[in-house]
Structure 1
Amino acid sequence: MHSTVAFLLTSLTLSTTAIVLPRDDVRLAVNPACGDYSSSSVKDVRGSLPDLKTFSTIVTFGDSYTDGGKHDGSPLGPAAINAPNPSAGGRHTNGPVWAEYLAQAHGATLKDYASTGAVVDVNQWPERSFPTSNDFLTQANNFISQRNLTDPDSTLYVVFFGIGDYVESLGKELPNSNFYIIIVLDVDHISSPDHNNSSLSLQTQHILYTINRLASSPIFGKNFLFIDNHGRGTETPAGLSFKSQIFKGMDSIQQLGLNTGFVDLSTMWDGVLSANSPGFKAFGYTSVEPCLVSSESTEGSCEDPEHAFYWFPGAPTTVTHKLISDYVQAVWDQC
């Protein structure tokens, strides 16, 4: 009888142990779509950018995907959740953002100016009340006014911006401020923008004009990376047109003597969200549904955010941010 009980207890113990074994970590299940600026379609391009280990400083501009909680280039606070607040140290996620992972991987100092809700130029959308008055123009002005005399050769500038402007141009309501696109057009016509025109074309000039400022005195920036994720798993003819124009503009900017690269995150987003191969399970995700129902509270959180794609609607979990960093590094390694 005693041996039978012992056997049953042992069996239960082994069974319980098997149930609680940890899942595999989330990982990249796609490779970059490498190419160069002569490609007929948009590709991931490292371009003329030097090795990532070259950069001792990474300066980032953007909105919630890149917002580390400080907005002024100062050291970021701990990426900790204080429930019921779902934002880890002011971040729009449950841990570090992708730029933190990228900087940490290469021992670089991160100077983050991104702010949740930012668009390229808030003055172009006077009918909208954005969550913040901070935009790309202001972020760049803040950086320049600080007289950040970083070494141009060892500083990487990253711009991850603007799908909010694209959505606004269509006259659609922006459900939240987690959207980005990098818009680059004809570098032969860089000029100070006219605020009376609210077209997307004008917003692209704002982008170019601001990059031109960052490449001029007193900053003299040399290295610029553009990241595009405007559709986040969906595409429209207008979106594809913008991405194609950006891609061509990157080539023109490089021809001006700057080092540029282009990262298209649609490969990753399509890979996760597609009903076909590879699909979210290949990445190690258990769900593509947001872990939280809103950005207001941790109440009702999913049980396993370490294997969730989105933290709350439209905002990636920190494990997804880690994959964004991994994808950027893969572009450097493979393209």
Structure 2
Amino acid sequence: MSNGQKTGSTPLPAVPNSEDPKYGGRASNGLIWIEQLGDELGALVRDYARGGAIVSSKLTPPAKEQSDMIEHVQVFLDQKNQIDAASSIAMICYGINDGVSASRRGATSLSSSAQELISQTELLIQAGIQNVVVLSPPKASGLFPEFNNIIWNGLKSLKAQTPSIQFAYVDFSALYSAINADPQSFGQDFLYARYESAESCLKSATSLDGACQNPDVYLYYIPNHPQKLTHGLMAQWADVVLSNCT
């Protein structure tokens, strides 16, 4: 999920545009989860994500041209950033669009994509990253259990090879499963409006026509893309998980 940038640069303000549903280039109506998590942690966020990205365009050819993790990692490496190993964290979240592409082609496994994700993560470690957080796709069914398991085991293998690295795994699918099972139970404990729908406020990613009156009570802002308060839940979820890592 992108904040509208793709090179780690400063994002545009998350403000509405009367002609575009995206707030400052974000596929949401406000700050995305990584920005909100950065605010909670007092951390500088440098986002290299791009909308619609997959792990590898060669392994899961998309219906139309899409960027991939290989490209994102290379952009970061080409910048030759000075990395503070103690305080820097690489947050890695891929899989949703790989699953869409695989399903379209009738594929029954994302194992190669999961293995490529580990290979790209290893490049980041070689560049000086010592803290790695992988975040699961928010879907728990279909191809993702195997995808997640391969990544988890791959991270453990990297840890065995390089004991100095620290890694964590945040399961967004557990959060989304709970929301979809009982949307109206979310809100009060998190100081947010209760969900009234697990659908999206807008019916299109390119138009404001037919917009709902109150995006806060919908799970998504545009189809399959969370609204800002859902992003807030994701940020809180990640923060709690990371705070309890041992």
TM-score normalised over the length of structure 2: 0.88
For residue 126 of structure 1, report the CA deviation from its aligned partner. 4.6
- The equivalent residue for 1:251 is 156
CA distance, structure 1, for counterparts of residue 226 and residue 61 of structure 2: 29
Look up the equivalent residue of 1:152 and give its one-letter code: A
Partners of 2:112 and 2:199 in 1: how far apart? Answer: 36
Does residue 225 of the first structure (1) align with residue 160 of the second (2)? Answer: no
Cross-structure match for 1:164: 97
Deviation track 1:161-210 (CA, whole Å, cap 9, x = no partner) reads: 1232233233359xxxxxxxxxxxxxxxxxxxxxxxxx733323321221
Which residue of 1 is the match for residue 42 of structure 2?
Answer: 107
**CA positional deviation for 1:222:** 0.4
Deviation at residue 235 of structure 1 after TM alignment: 1.5
Aligned to 1:11: none
Equivalent runs, 1:61-210 vs 2, <5 Å: 66-126=1-61, 128-130=63-65, 132=66, 134-172=67-105, 200-210=110-120
Pair 1:223–1:334, CA change in 2 (3 A): closer
Where relative contact order (Cα < 8 A, 6+ residues apart) is larger, the structure is 1
Measure the CA separation in 2 of the matches of 1:127 and 1:309: 26
CA distance in structure 1 between the aligned counterparts of 2:52 and 2:16, rounded to whole angstroms: 20
8 Å contact kept, 1:230–1:239: no
Contact preservation (8 Å) 2:138, 2:174: no
Moved more, 121-130 or 312-321: 121-130
Task: Quote how far apart the aligned CAs of 1:73 are.
Answer: 0.5
Q: Specify the code of the residue in structure 2 equivalent to 1:235.
A: S
Task: Read off the aligned partner of 1:221 and give its amino acid letter.
Answer: I
Report the AA paired with residue 54 of structure 2.
V
Q: Percent identity?
A: 28
How far is 1:241 from its partner?
A: 2.4
Matches of 1:127 and 1:105, distance apart in 2: 35
| TM-score, structure 1 normalization | 0.66
Aligned amino acid, residue 136 of structure 1: M
Query: 1:166–1:287: structure 2 CA closer, same or farther, 3 Å change rule?
Result: closer
The 3 A distance-change label for structure 1 pair 334 and 114 is same
Q: Report the count of equivalent residues.
A: 234
Q: By how many angstroms is 1:247 displaced?
A: 2.4
Q: What RMSD over aligned residues (CA atoms) do the two structures have, in Å?
A: 1.8
Distance 1:105 1:127, change over 3 A: closer
Pair 1:121–1:328, CA change in 2 (3 A): same
d(CA) in 2 for partners of 1:247, 1:125? 20
Distance (whole Å) between structure 2 residues aligned to residue 115 and residue 240 of structure 1: 24
* C-alpha contact 1:84 1:299 (8 A) present in aligned 2: no
**Structure 1 residue identity aligned to 2:141:** E
Q: Secondary structure at the match of 2:200?
A: coil
8 Å Cα contact 1:253-1:260 kept in structure 2:
no
Q: Which runs of 5+ in 1 are unaligned?
A: 1-65, 174-198
Q: Is the 8 A contact 1:308 1:317 kept in 2?
A: yes
4+ residue runs over 6 A deviation: none
Residue segments in structure 2 that go unaligned for 5+ positions in a row: 187-193
Rounded Cα–Cα distance in structure 1 between residues aligned with 2:40 and 2:197: 27
Q: Bigger radius of gyration, 1 or 2? A: 1
| Partner of residue 322, structure 1 | 232
